[in-house]
Structure 1
Amino acid sequence: MHYQNTYVNLDPRLYHKQPPTALESPRAGHFNTQVAEQLGWADDDDLMARWVDIVGGQYVPSQFEPLAMAYAGHQFGQWAGQLGDGRGLLVAQVLDHNNQLQDLHLKGSGLTPYSRMGDGRAVLRSTIREYLCGHALTQLDIPSSNALGFVVSDTPVRRERMEAGAALMRVADSHIRLGHIEWIASFAPDLLGEFTDYMIDTYYPKSRDSEAPVLAFLQAVVERTARMIADWQLIGFAHGVMNTDNLSITGSTLDFGPFGFMERFNPAWINNHSDHTGRYTYQNQPAIGHWNLNVWLPHFMRLEGVTRDALSDCLAPYEPTFMQHYQQGLCRKLGLPHQKESLSLAFEWLTLLEDNLLDYTNSFRALLGLISPENYPYEKQLLATLTHELQGEALQVWQDWSARYLAHVQALSIEQVVTDMQTTNPVYVLRNSMAQRAITAAKQGQFEEVSRLYELLASPYTVQDIATALDSTPPAPNAPQMPISCSS
């Protein structure tokens, strides 16, 4: 691998250097060959042979320089003070085969000075969920952390009960969060200029071409964040814990805890069992992204030439960027051009889904069975299931909407319509029930279901023979969708 460990050269107040604390008898859970090839890990025989020992914390390659990052944050809208990597270590930074900087971050690696009341460990269930979700979002072309692999061990870890300790080698384009700046502003304000230069030079070098590089950088972060959250909304993904310490400066999805992919379409669904007020529901994500950035930006007023009005100008593109990306994507999911009539149909469609608690993923995909039933037998069956769930007035609403929708489609190139729909509406997402079945088997030492889901989610837009009916079956309309804890 091409190592480029630069974070370790920053002011030592920003981190604590330490090795991982080894797990007992680590064993392979799953290894991501795609990520290994992307990083160049697959080209190193020693890394390939000892990946379980590395992820298990028993062996640290000489090129690694492990450190725990310090950061702070607002959690559920309240200032939480110093946080930091309480169970993870940034072990190395590398340039991948696309010359893109990637962080290797070992999660579940033991106590650090930032562990607070935690034990520094991760359990198998949360590790499997993060491993599969990072893979799923990456294959859906949504910016996200991914993972090289995970291990399970004999190390006991107590959560609600005693469980097996596990570890994950997470890979992301950055682990710098909005909370890093919040920490600097509170505990080391003299570092703000140096750290801002590092973020610009490392992650936003094109901003240097601007007359005001800092403002160009800040606006770029705002716009990337808006596009990421629009991508979440389009695919039906709810992050579940959008604290400022869980948002990356690169606009990539980071920190999978109580996440969920929408099944029965209820935008107010609370998928985090700790979210008692519903702050982080699916429907609130765009507003929370704006709130987080609005909290983050004023810290940069300490820098020369950065005024309140200038920061307001940096934040201003958030809403139009989100709306344009979301509306364009929503029209593409229906195979329609981005125009007023298309949006009207799209929002009527979402209302139909919400009013009748239809499955979000299946319903969008079923429209291919409406447009081209002879070419899409699987989608034709999804359509039959959809219409079977509609009764009385709701069925009439569907018939009226589908007739108007088909009239719009028939005025377009059917080939282009189908292409847009097929490439934006997945057949498979990581439903909570799917992850749970993999977790249940893994606790018995059987990782075949993890492997099957990995393969299934590697091609989410294609109907696959390895799929089962359960992979596309939502809960009953009135059944509560499973809330997830931060340790799940």
Structure 2
Amino acid sequence: MQFDNSYARLPAHMFARQDPTPVAAPGLIGLNAGLAQDMGLDPDELSLPDWIAVFAGNRVPPGAEPLAQAYAGHQFGNWVPQLGDGRAVLLGEHVGPDGRRWDIQLKGAGRTPFSRMGDGRAWVGPVIREYIVSEAMHALGVPTTRALAAVSTGEPVYREGAMPGAVLTRVASSHLRVGTFQYFAARQDTDALRRLTDMALGRHYPGTTGALGLLEQVTTAQARLVAQWMALGFIHGVMNTDNAHVGGLTIDYGPCAFMDAYHPGRVFSSIDQMGRYAYGNQPQIAVWNVAQLASSLLPLIDPDEAAAVEAATPLVHGFADIYQAEWLTRFRAKLGLVRALDGDQALIESLLDRMARLGVDFTRAFRCLAEGTAAAEFPEPEAFTTWQADWHARLAAEGRSLTDAQATMRRVNPAIIPRNHQIEAAITAAVAGDLVPFHALNAALAAPFDAAPDDPLRAAPAPAEIIRRTFCGT
């Protein structure tokens, strides 16, 4: 690894220097060979004991400068002035042969000054979940943090009982969050805000300048990201500002899920009792998070707060139009539509309303539409066939054949997603020492749009939802 640690060169109060805590007996659960190669690293070398020790936190590689980042955040709308990396250590920033910069972070690496009474550890369940889902999101074309490796620790982690411990090696273009900016804005630390702004622009938006430029870029990135989530039926589950990435990445896969039965009010998080982060609320929460970034950047926008608010407000309000345009583009593609015509939104919403009323599986409905078998997914076939007539008329209005439309649809409507029951089966098997289901699921998810009828992970109909809640790893 070729380290150049720009975050470690920031003023010392912006983070805490912290080595990972060694573990008893590191063992490799999974190594992402494709990602390693993208980073200019040798997967065979990374599979050797010395590197497994690095991924477990038992060895700090030459050039690394481990640290825990400081940040704050709104958690379920409630302000928490200090959060920070409570169970993660940023080893450093690897620069690949192509010049790309990769943050390398160990998640579950032990206590830090930000642990807030926590043990700083992770058990194998959340590590496997984040590995599977983040890599599935990458394969689906969604901006995301990624998983380079997962290792077992040979030590128990105590949650509702004793669980086997694990550490995830997460990589990203940065780990800068809205909450990172909030932390220093709350302390009126304008110098830190300026340094963060320069770093965020350099990492994610080269060519853009200034705090207003950053706000505009983050607004656009977040609007497009959430539109992608919505088009895939993905529910993040904890859209706190400390989980809103300024580069527009999906970050932190705790209580997340891809919907089975479609409903805009669907919630999977065990801690979201009021449905704040339900599927249908995600666009509103995203713009709320962007507004918190705008508030943090006001001192950099203009010394006159009223003038700063006046300059920032139109950018935040622009979220709605960007999101709506992206949402329409993505759902048109899901229906095989190329041109934008009046009435498209009504056609899309008519299908979604029928799916919600009848509890139709989100992913299967669109994939089967591409395969010509969607009628069987609807308990009341007439609810589908009446809509289908409108859809066929809409295709005819732009001169597209059903065959051409369905070929397009198969490229955007996945045949497989990481369903909760499949993830739970992989976790259960891994706890028992069997990693075959984990590797098989990852392999299938690496080609999500391919039709593979002989693959039981793709061919089986979705069961009635048996995993109704997901949990944070802490």
Interval of TM-score (by shorter of Structure 1 and Structure 2): over 0.9
**Secondary structure, aligned partner of 1:74:** strand
C-alpha distance in structure 2 between counterparts of 1:103 and 1:46, whole Å: 17
Q: 1:385 corresponds to which residue?
A: 376
1:377 is matched with none
Q: Deviations over 1:281-309 (max 9, x none)?
A: 00000000011111221122212536111
Percent of paired sites with the same residue = 33
The structure-2 alpha-carbon separation of the partners of 1:465 and 1:349, relative to structure 1 and needing over 3 Å to count, comes to closer
Name the aligned partner's letter for residue 277 of structure 1: M
Cα deviation code 1:227-284 (max 9, x no counterpart)? 0001000000000000000111000000110000011001111110111111010000
Q: Are residue 235 (structure 1) and residue 193 (structure 2) matched?
A: no
Aligned to 1:375: none
Q: Are the equivalent residues in 2 in contact too, given 1:144–1:254 (CA < 8 A)?
A: yes
Where do residues 352-367 of structure 1 align in structure 2 (5 Å cutoff)?
352-367=354-369
Q: Is 1:316 aligned to residue 317 of structure 2?
A: yes
Q: State the match for 2:82 in structure 1.
A: 82
Q: Give the equivalent residue in structure 1 for 2:421.
A: 433
Unaligned runs of 5+ in 2: none
Letter in 1 for 2:92: A
What is the CA-CA distance between 1:384 and the residue it aligns to? 5.6
Q: Deviations over 1:326-354 (max 9, x none)?
A: 11100100001332233322111111111
**3-state SS of 1:207 partner:** coil
Q: Distance in 1 between matches of 2:64 and 2:216?
A: 33
Letter paired with 2:268: N
| Distance in 2 separating the partners of 1:472 and 1:325 | 31
Shift of 1:364: 0.3
Q: CA RMSD in A?
A: 1.9
After TM superposition, list the pairs within 5 Å mapping 1:405-444 onto structure 2. 405-410=391-396, 411-414=399-402, 416-444=404-432
Corresponding residue for residue 198 of structure 1: 199
> Partner of 1:3: helix, strand, or coil?
coil
Over 3 Å counting, the alpha-carbon distance change for 1:241 and 1:172 in structure 2 is same
CA distance in 2 between partners of 1:127 and 1:386 (Å): 33
Q: Is residue 91–residue 104 contact of structure 1 (8 Å, CA) maintained in 2?
A: yes
Give the unaligned 5+ runs of structure 1.
371-379
SS at structure 1 position matched to 2:63: coil
Is 1:245 paired with 2:242? yes
1:403 matched to which residue of 2? 389
In the superposition, the TM-score normalised over structure 1's length comes to 0.91
| Alignment check: 8 A CA contact 2:200 2:247 kept | no
2:434 to 442, 446, 451: 446
Letter in structure 2 aligned against 1:402: Q
Task: Report the CA distance between 1:385 and its aligned residue.
Answer: 3.4
Distance 2:332 2:360 in 1: 19
Is 1:487 the equivalent of 2:473? yes
Does structure 1 retain, via aligned residues, the 8 Å contact 2:231–2:330? yes
Deviations 1:105-161 (A, max 9, x none): 110100000000210000100000000000000000000011101011221110111
Residues 88 and 105, structure 1, Cα contact 8 Å, conserved in 2: yes
SS state at 1:353 partner: helix
Pair 1:418–1:40, CA change in 2 (3 A): same
**Structure 1 counterpart of 2:37:** 37
User: 1:78 Cα shift?
Assistant: 0.5
Q: Deviations over 1:182-210 (max 9, x none)?
A: 111123614222322222233322113xx
User: Equivalences for 1:211-230 in 2 at 5 Å?
Assistant: 213-230=210-227
Q: How does 1:34-433 map to 2 (within 5 A)?
A: 34-42=34-42, 45=45, 50-96=50-96, 98-187=98-187, 189-190=189-190, 191-208=192-209, 213-303=210-300, 305=302, 307-336=308-337, 337-370=339-372, 380=373, 383=374, 385-387=376-378, 389-390=379-380, 395-410=381-396, 411-414=399-402, 416-433=404-421
User: Contact conserved, 2:371 with 2:406, CA < 8 A, in 1?
Assistant: no
Q: Is the 8 A contact 1:359 1:474 kept in 2?
A: yes
TM-score by length of 2: 0.94
Structure 1 position 313, deviation (Å): 2.1
* Cα distance between partner residues in 2 of 1:330 and 1:459: 21
Deviation at 1:472, TM superposition (A): 4.5
| Aligned equivalents of 1:448, 1:192: Cα separation in 2 | 46
Cα distance in 1 for partners of 2:460, 2:70 equals 41
Could you tell me how far apart the structure 2 residues matched to 1:140 and 1:11 are? Answer: 38
How does 1:466-477 map onto structure 2 within 5 Å?
A: 467-468=455-456, 472-476=460-464
Q: Distance in 1 between matches of 2:83 and 2:377?
A: 46
Specify the SS of the correspondent of 2:42.
helix
Separation in structure 1 between the aligned mates of residue 376 and residue 96 of structure 2, nearest angstrom = 44
**Residues 342-381 of structure 1 deviation map (CA, whole Å, 9 limit, x = unaligned):** 33221111111111000000000111232xxxxxxxxx4x
Residue 481 of structure 1 and its aligned partner are, at CA, apart by 4.7
